[in-house]
Amino acid sequence: MIKHEVVHAPEDLGRMADRCIMVVFGASGDLTTRKLLPALYNLGRHNLLPREFAILGFAKDALTEEEFRKKIRDDIREYAGAPVSCELCDWLADHSYYMTGDFASADDFARMKLRVQELEAQHHTQGNVFYYLATLPQFFPEIVRQLAAQQLTEESEGAWRRVIIEKPFGSDLASAKALNRDIGQVLKEHQIYRIDHYLGKETVQNILIFRFSNGIFEPVWNRRYIDHVQITVAESLGVERRGGYYEHAGALRDMIPNHILQLLSLTAMEPPVSFDANAVRDEQAKVLHAIQTISPEDVLQRAVRGQYGAGLVGTEQVAGYRAEPFVDPQSSTETFVAFKLAIDNWRWADVPFYIRTGKRMPKRVTEIAIQFRSAPFRLFRDTPVEKLTPNTLVMRIQPDEGISLQFGAKIPGAHVRVGPVTMDFEYADYFGTEPSTGYERLLYDCMIGDATLFQRADMVEAGWNVVEPVLDVWKALPAKAFPNYAAGTWGPKDADELMRRDGRVWRNE
């Protein structure tokens, strides 16, 4: 395979971010360790981090500042995914501060305010602060309220204040609306950055570029040429040690209203009038609103749930979901979901979108497959060709990032025979591989005030709106036959049946 020149070096990403302080709530937790600190380090490597910058960690754990700094050095070494420069790592650690605090204590927030003021003076950050809520979701409203009570969210001339809120944003439509209302009472929408880490992935951002920077795809990107779309987010891992969270969430809440609907909206949206944050998000919201509401009767026909039992993933024998740590041995939580969705607009009428996600599938793969209508067979009637394989365009989000187009070609020989072949674009061949946690771009965008890749209140609610009928029916009718697929398989039989009824099959490649 020929290696190509790297077209855009990451250094070309743009200007250095605004000078600021980053306050991390939940600074001793997993997200900070594995994603946020390495992402900051990677931004630093590309000269995108401002020199006037400080991190203030705030968490319940009684760490000293020295311990926090040591942790930062260790975390970066372990998770940055690149050879670590001690100089930069030390610089980040030296710009980091820590305070033990309780999210419900007004006194602790008052102390924090003083700390922020000190750091502002020390690091010349000119009043810009962003708060990252890397905590359990039940603390989100309280933290925002406490920040506002101390006027820590007030913006002034030339000084911005922003809040990044992690997923899950609510656990159903009502709670998402309540959270939007609560935080909306003290923050303006332009200050709120609801994160969905899928939007930090280059391949996800590329969906827009692929569709709208090329002239040849958009004309066929509609019901006239497309038969159906399949979106798969398969994971080979189980729930690991997250059983406590997952028992309440399940695959539906965990993956569909956020990650999968992001993929769907970028695939199905109309061209935005510009790349301005609201122009893009208006179109995403519009298509989410156009998803047909599933009636309770249809839920039984169009939505499938599953839970993995013990099985073999690769060569490893793994336990069933009910035997995982922190999971109820009788649990009726789903670890697999498949849906058939319809989008009620002129572009997509009668083009089903099949979506699925599951844990303990045979392999990790996230992809969007656009299957085009077949060519008419008439011309091939009198040849040995039995059927024509439809063209499929596959956007491979991860791993093995790339795009491929499958089409039919003549198999050399005296007879007319047609075989499927693919044209392949691999990111790694063209652009090399760049260590990334997926959070770099999102942190950077928050620091420059670009909210394009963050969810707006209406998008979050539209996402919950799509899944709400399914949540309701499944709650009323708990699954009886769990576990219903073995670890290491592509989910329950009903998922295949969902496709078979429509004369289609999942791409299990």
Cα 89 from Cα 37, distance rounded (Å): 10
Confirm whether 248 is a catalytic residue.
Answer: no
Nearer to ligand BG6, 146 or 366 (CB): 366
* 103, 146 contact by CB (below 8 A): yes
Least gap, CB of 195 to ligand BG6 (angstroms): 10
Least gap, CB of 200 to ligand BG6 (angstroms): 9
Residue 450: burial class (beta carbons within 10 Å; 0-12, 13-18, 19+): middle
Residues in the chain: 509
- For every residue of 259-318, which 3-state class applies, written as one string? HHHHHHHHHHCCCCCCCCHHHHHHHHHHHHHCECCCCHHHHHHHEEEECEECEEECCEEE
* 337, 479 contact by CB (below 8 A): no
Give the footprint of ligand BG6 on residues 356-375 (CB under 6 A): 366
Task: List, as own/partner pairs, every contact residues 345-348 make where C-beta atoms lie below 8 angstroms and the sequence separation is at least 24, other chains included.
Answer: 345/287, 345/290, 346/223, 347/221, 347/222, 347/223, 347/268, 347/270, 348/222, 348/223, 348/268, 348/290
In the set 95, 123, 197, 259, the catalytic residue is 259
Least gap, CB of 167 to ligand BG6 (angstroms): 6
- Token pair of 401 as six digits: 């990032």
Nearer to ligand BG6, 366 or 406 (CB): 366
- Residue choice 254, 445, 461, 468 for contact with ligand BG6 (CB under 6 A): 254
Backbone angles phi, psi at 368, to 5 degrees: -120, 120
* 428, 401 contact by CB (below 8 A): yes
Q: What is the pattern of x (binds ligand BG6, CB under 6 A) and - over residues 152-171? A: ---------------x----
Give the three-state DSSP class for 394.
strand
Least gap, CB of 235 to ligand BG6 (angstroms): 5
Nearer to ligand BG6, 96 or 258 (CB): 258
Backbone angles phi, psi at 298, to 5 degrees: -70, -25
- Token pair of 106 as six digits: 């007004």
- Determine what percent of the chain falls in helix, strand and coil, rounding each to the nearest 5: 40, 20, 40
Nearer to ligand BG6, 116 or 403 (CB): 403
Nearer to ligand BG6, 256 or 385 (CB): 256
* 54, 96 contact by CB (below 8 A): yes
Give the footprint of ligand BG6 on residues 233-252 (CB under 6 A): 235
- Token pair of 289 as six digits: 């609103």
Q: What is the pattern of x (binds ligand BG6, CB under 6 A) and - over residues 207-236? A: ----------------------------x-
Which residues, in sequence order, are bridge partners of residue 368? 231, 395
Backbone angles phi, psi at 281, to 5 degrees: -70, -30
Tally Cβ neighbours within 10 Å of residue 275: 12
Nearer to ligand BG6, 235 or 461 (CB): 235
* 338, 476 contact by CB (below 8 A): no
- Token pair of 208 as six digits: 């827009």
Nearer to ligand BG6, 254 or 367 (CB): 254
Nearer to ligand BG6, 203 or 406 (CB): 203
Using rule CB under 6 A, residue 401 touches ligand BG6: no
- Residue with token string 């009620």: 344
Q: Which residue is nearest to ligand BG6 (CB)?
A: 254
Could you tell me the CA-to-CA distances from 8 to 4, 13, 81, 323, 343 in Å, in that order? 12, 8, 20, 47, 36
The size of the interface with ligand BG6 (CB under 6 A), counted in residues, is: 4
- Token pair of 415 as six digits: 């007879």
Cα 474 from Cα 469, distance rounded (Å): 9
Least gap, CB of 250 to ligand BG6 (angstroms): 10
Nearer to ligand BG6, 390 or 438 (CB): 438
Binding region for ligand BG6 (CB under 6 A): 167, 235, 254, 366
Catalytic residue numbers, as ranges: 259
